[in-house]
Copies of this chain bind each other. A is one copy, B any other.
Amino acid sequence: MDEKIVPNIVVGRLPLYLRTLQLMNQEGRRVTSSQELGERLGISAAQIRKDLSQFGEFGKQGTGYNIEYLTGQLRQILHVNKVWDVAVVGIGDVGHALARYQGFSNRGFRIVLLFDNDPQKIGKKVGEFITQNISDLVRMIHEAGVQVAMLSVPVDHAQQVTNLLVEAGVKSILNYAPINISVPPNVHVQYIDPVLHLQRMTYFLD
């Protein structure tokens, strides 16, 4: 499929569509519509049709979308028809929760490496994995060819560890430290900070 430039905001909605379709599939459903997807997601049906039309023709007027087919197409578009190996750096409470999180399976990701700099944690098992010494990070990530990392180190260390991840060849970083990090243009960063979401909502409260 040709990859034309699709607006970032559209790309950001595709994982929501995929998640909803996968849940429908688990419910034993076979067919859905832009109306139903829209109702589940609070997005207009017209928006959903417009978003999907950027990537091809996935449904027929009147018969809706085949859930399994559209799921497969979205997995291909988002490149999660394969499984990406993921490294977690910083095994505090958040890193610990990520290492044991059940929500990655069948969605394109599996954690394969954990790192920390705390001698109390290095060599200890978390979930199925042994926490490695951060001093081995660049070598181990490079050797394993890992391109995706989740960063859950303290704010003070976030940029320094980011530099190591970039050096190791990581191309996508999900940053849990509540600070913006700098990366070269070929590296993508997303942020998870619960306070940003909470403040978006208190705007509407008195």
Chain A residues in the interface with B (C-beta under 8 A): 11-12, 14-16, 18-20, 23, 40-42, 77-80, 84, 86, 92-94, 96-98, 100-101, 103-104, 107-109, 147-148, 150, 171-172, 174, 178-180, 188, 190-206
Question: Which residues of the partner chain B approach A15 to less than 8 Å between Cβ atoms?
Answer: 195-196, 199-200
Known A97-B97, A202-B172: A16·B79 in contact at CB below 8 Å: no
Contact in complex: A195, B79 (CB < 8 Å): no
Are A199 and B148 closer than 8 Å at their CB atoms? no
- Whether A199 and B101, one on each chain, are in contact in the complex, defined by CB atoms closer than 8 angstroms, is no
B contact residues around A41 at 8 Å (CB): 180
Contact, CB under 8 Å: B84 / A171: no
Report the nearest B residue to A202, measured CB to CB: B79
Among A77, A198, A205, residue most surrounded by chain B Cβ atoms (within 10 Å): A198
CB-defined A-B contacts under 8 Å, sample of 21:
A14-B199, A19-B179, A19-B195, A40-B180, A77-B203, A79-B203, A93-B101, A94-B97, A94-B101, A97-B97, A104-B194, A107-B199, A109-B198, A148-B198, A148-B201, A148-B205, A171-B201, A174-B194, A190-B197, A190-B200, A190-B201
Residues of B within 8 A of A97 (CB): 92-94, 96-97
Q: Is the CB of A150 within 8 A of B78?
A: no
A192 to B195: give the CA distance in the assembly, Å. 11
Measured in the bound complex, the distance between the Cα atoms of B97 and A80 in whole Å is 28
Q: How far is the CB of A34 from chain B (nearest CB, A)?
A: 15
Cβ-closest chain B residue relative to A79: B202
Q: Is the CB of B180 within 8 A of A18?
A: no
Taking a contact as CB atoms under 8 Å apart, the answer to whether B103 and A172 are in contact is no
Bound: A180/B42 CA distance, A: 9
Residues of B within 8 A of A20 (CB): 180
B174 touches A198 (CB 8 A): yes
